[in-house]
Amino acid sequence: MSPKFSLDPFEEQYAHRTSSMLSSEIRDLLSVTARPDIISLAGGLPFTQAFDPEIILNTVRSVLEHDHAAALQYGPTDGYAPLKHNLVEIMAAEGTPCFPEDIMITNGAQQGLELIAKIFINPGDSIITEAPSYVGALNSFLSYQPHIHPIAMDEHGMRTDLLEQTLAELVGKDAPAKFIYVVPNFHNPAGITMSRERRFRLLELAHEYDCLVVEDNPYGLLRFDGEPEPSLRSLDEGRVIYLGTLSKIFAAGMRIGWVAAPHPILDKLLLAKQSADLCSSTFTQMVAHRYFGSEDWRGQIEHLKEIYRGRRDAMLEALEEHLGGIARWTRPQGGLFVWVTLPDFIKASEMLAAAISAKVAYVPGTGFFPYAGGECCMRLNFSYADEETIREGIKRLSKVIKHELSLARALGYDIGPLPGECGTGEVTGG
């Protein structure tokens, strides 16, 4: 194992795969952001306060009154069958056809990602992600030791011209990509939605190069503006492994996600889940089934969207007011996140300590790239803090950024107009 100095007395015992698990340095810094005096734009928390506790209480009570013994029991590995019907309905609300038998329920979409990594990735295998990409997916993938090939995004999503180039190169090296992982709607962290043309092109290329597509769609129903795009699964059921979750439309704390996939893949995932946890919580699955069966979940999503839309607008307006002409940012049509690109001499991870002293926090962009990139970028969350807090947070952040700019000026940096792309392949917004 690594000869590097470590305070961990168990260093020699760990499996090699732990060395590719991403550093906790930023997590340590961010752990202070729970302090009430810090405005955290760093998390990715849905606003669960928007739920009426009475509704949740009644739902839980009715589950326990109706069948407490089943709720407290183990359940089938593939999930509580009645809930699958609700999940089919949720997918239909986005125009994605699915049958209950195409679904395996997981412990959040995160478990789906972990199980996909487990059944597909051998050390050294090639896989493709967007750049930036969801950090939880990168972590799951990296622990199985693949070569990740990040493909830059622009405002239309993953650049399929670069994807094509990479797929061809990998075939040339006899290391064809196993799968392409994408978050097509309101991307975490980039806030971007993949255009219809790119969706079609992505699937064409996947077909041409015979690789699978992993479509991770936690945010699709949280659209504030514009028209929905077709899901990749609805365009090519035979090649797409679809991941859904109740975390953003119901309760992240219930830990309910699902995978919809071709049946042979579902069979392998089932074996992998069996050894991971036997089954997901029967209790929370029954609660979710009751909630989606008898409550106005569509109305609740509308309510959430109204709150998030206001918060997104507050963030975009505050960015314009305080950082217009200094930074670029994406303008998400839904979801939870804005991606900000600063001038390339500002390193967002180095600036984080100063931001925390100024009582505001964000996630530096580097965490969303498997190897390098994102140094001058940050992810901002708008779902959790209220509008006034968001405005104040951006104001504090802009002071920190402007201070960095004045330092850079003093050091003789040429401060051009707006930042372009910095590092390797990341998104610049409008």
Ligand X SMILES: Cc1ncc(COP(=O)(O)O)c(C=O)c1O
Contact pick of 40, 59, 86, 110 for ligand X (by CB under 6 A): 110
Contact pick of 30, 83, 104, 109 for ligand X (by CB under 6 A): 109
Q: Give 209 or 337: the residue with its C-beta nearer to ligand X.
A: 337
The size of the interface with ligand X (CB under 6 A), counted in residues, is 14
Q: Give 170 or 259: the residue with its C-beta nearer to ligand X.
A: 259
Distance between CA atoms of residues 259 and 266, nearest Å:
8
Nearest to 130 by CA among 382, 370, 420: 370
Q: Which residue is nearest to ligand X (CB)?
A: 108
Distance between CA atoms of residues 14 and 16, nearest Å:
6
| Interface region with ligand X, contact rule CB under 6 A, candidates 245-253, 291-299, 303-311, 382-390 | 245-253
CA distances from 322 to 162, 190, 309, 316, 329 (A): 34, 20, 20, 10, 12
- CA 292 distance to own-chain centroid: 23
User: The tokens 């260093």 sit on which residue?
Assistant: 11
* CB-CB contact of 417 with 341 (8 Å): no
Q: Give 162 or 254: the residue with its C-beta nearer to ligand X.
A: 254
Residues 135-154 close enough to bind ligand X by CB under 6 A = 136
Contact pick of 80, 120, 134, 291 for ligand X (by CB under 6 A): 134
HSE toward the beta carbon, residue 190, CA cutoff 13 A: 29
Residues 62-81 close enough to bind ligand X by CB under 6 A = none
> How far apart are CB 245 and ligand X at their closest, in Å?
3
Contact pick of 247, 284, 366, 428 for ligand X (by CB under 6 A): 247
Question: Is 114 a binder of ligand X (CB under 6 A)?
Answer: no
| Interface region with ligand X, contact rule CB under 6 A, candidates 23-31, 105-113, 157-165, 227-235 | 105-113
* CB-CB contact of 293 with 299 (8 Å): no
Contact pick of 75, 218, 332, 343 for ligand X (by CB under 6 A): 218
Question: Is 252 a binder of ligand X (CB under 6 A)?
Answer: yes
Show the site string, 254-293: x = touches ligand X by CB under 6 A, - = not.
---x------------------------------------
Question: Is 105 a binder of ligand X (CB under 6 A)?
Answer: no
- Applying CB under 6 A, the residues found at the interface with ligand X are 44, 108-110, 134, 136, 183, 188, 216, 218, 245, 247, 252, 257
